[in-house]
Every structure is written in structure tokens, then in C-alpha cells.
Amino acid sequence: MHPAIFLDRDGVIVENNPNYIRTQEDLAFIPGSLQSLAEMRDSPYKIVVVTNQSAIGRGIISAELAEQINDRVVDEIHRTGGRIDGSYMCPHSPQEACLCRKPEPGLLQQAAVELSIDLRRSVMIGDALSDLLAGQAAGLRRLYLVRTGRGTAQEQLPRPDGLITYQVVDDLSSAWHSILGHV
């Protein structure tokens, strides 16, 4: 069983788009995110992307196009020296009440089964409180909220009842360096 670093995609790796990432041209990587992922490559952690993509469930883009966009993100990470061991996407709208849409833990649990991940030794990095809640619901004990994406606005919200203590950091690089300090 391996520990993992679970990463939200939009707002952590690529710029969050309030109108959804609808085309390949909408993709813009957050400065420093690709370098941070390259630095993680040789770590003992599995590196797993878990992303809500409700634009599919809302009928804004097709599942095929969403997969192509996600594949491009992963390809660019690999091209720049990074590694992604798994990528999981929830295609549902919030109204569908599925178990895979964060803050539900389904994506993390699915990855744990398929990739032999020890959830209790794993870490969640997200730009929204829903990311952290998903991590906690899956049994993760270390949670990071990045200020990129929606993180700065989310940081100002009251902490949801029952959410364990989490660390707020500037970006993916800051989270990675904090994780290294605890390895």
C-alpha cells in the first residue's frame, strides 16, 4: 500500500475558469504547477488527480471532450517531467447527488482500490473546502488548501462543521515543500 498525493485539477494545476474549461484553448497552467509536479516525480507518493467536471452533467461539454482536455493536462505534466499515476473525474452535476462528486469521497476511494493506496497516509491538495471535505471523508489526515484558483476566497469562508485542521499554503509548490518537511 502506497501513500498518495491527491490533487484537484482546476485551481491547483490549471487555472480555474468560472465558465468551465470548454476547449483545449481554455487550458492555462498555474505558474509553477508543472515544475512542482516534476519535483514530485521521484517521491514515494502516488500522484492522483481527482476533479469534478460538472460541465458534462450540465450539458455544456461532452464527456469525450472533457476526457480529451484531461488527457492533455496529464500529457503536458508528463512532457515537462512530471508523473500522474491516476486521474479520476466526476462528470455529474451537483443535482445528481452522486458519491463521486467532491465533497463526497468516491473518487479517492476508487483510486485507493485501483492503485493500492493507503488513504490514512495520503494527502489532499485542493483550492476548495469541498476538496478537503472529500479528503477527510476518505480518511486522509493531511489536508492543504492552496490560495490559487478559488482558494483565497474559500479561505475566508467559515470552516465547515467537523472539518479537521488543514494547512493553507500559497500554491502547489508550497504544499509540496510542506509535505517534504513531514516525510
Q: Which residues are catalytic?
A: 8, 10
- Rounded Cα distance, 181 and 56, in Å: 38
Helix axes 106-115, 129-137, angle to 10 degrees: 50
DSSP helix, strand, coil percent of the chain (3-state; round to 5): 40, 20, 45
∠ CA 168-122-21 to the nearest 5 degrees? 65
Query: Cβ distance 145 to 122 under 8 Å?
Result: no
Q: Kindly give, in sequence order, each residue whose CB lies less than 8 Å from that of residue 99, ignoring residues fewer than 6 positions away.
A: 105, 106
